[in-house]
Structure 1
């Protein structure tokens, strides 16, 4: 009986896993205190399967670089700075924080892509501003 239940559980997991579309999320985070905060999520990228770890990382890295002009927060996209796109929906101010690129594959943990912004991010009331060191 125990083996039958185990076999059914394994088959059920395999069936559900086979039906799920693979997906890869790309997002920008800042470090604050003892936590990482997502500040902007980019569009999902297509991957072949949930074993394609390097494919997910490489496609997110490409998307980060294309959409942020190589992580340049003062680069302009459609007459708006990359930093402004990040700042406009934030509920909290951010002062002197670098932005890091992360990716998540098929519900796994967020992983660091190795990319960091060229400048620090400063946002106040949704407005991207130049950072002034203390």
Structure 2
């Protein structure tokens, strides 16, 4: 009986393990918090221990492809700009005004901490009543 329980425990432990994975997302950064505004589909990587570089590279490729290298004014297939998609997403959470915020890319390996992917939007993001708008930068 003990052997049978040991076999079941080993089978359960092996089946509970999943493939190593990576998350990739874009965030708007505020002074004291971050708001995820886009999450890419999960990326399969080779290892949870050694593949932060693989995850980061795949994440930057995904975000660059989605936005033409961080261009918030890129018009997507649905007719909205990348920035409008972000403004609409934020408006769903009653965040209707954003002034002069950059959008940054981050990645996460196998549930670890989010790390900066060295991706940033080309322009600052401004949303006026949920509508993507040109930013006026005052110095």
User: TM-score, normalised to structure 2's length?
Assistant: 0.78
Mapped to 2, the partners of 1:100 and 1:84 lie a distance apart of 16
Q: Pairwise CA RMSD of aligned residues?
A: 2.2
Alpha-carbon shift at residue 133 of structure 1 (Å): 2.4
Structure 1 counterpart of 2:69: 70
Mapped to 1, the partners of 2:60 and 2:15 lie a distance apart of 26
| Matched-pair contact (CA < 8 Å) for 2:19–2:44 | no
Compared CA separation, residues 35 and 16, structure 1 to 2 (3 A)? farther
Compared CA separation, residues 17 and 113, structure 1 to 2 (3 A)? farther
| 4+ residue segments displaced more than 3 Å | 15-18
Structure 2 unaligned segments of length 5 or more: list them: 1-8
Alpha-carbon shift at residue 37 of structure 1 (Å): 1.9
Structure 2 counterpart of 1:106: 110
User: Which of the pair is proportionally richer in strand?
Assistant: 1
Alpha-carbon shift at residue 127 of structure 1 (Å): 1.8
Mapped to 2, the partners of 1:39 and 1:26 lie a distance apart of 11
Matched residue of 1:25: which SS? Answer: strand
Compared CA separation, residues 73 and 111, structure 1 to 2 (3 A)? same
Matched residue of 1:80: which SS? Answer: coil
Matches within 5 A, 1:1-134: 15=13, 19-51=17-49, 52-78=51-77, 79-90=79-90, 91=93, 92=95, 93-134=97-138
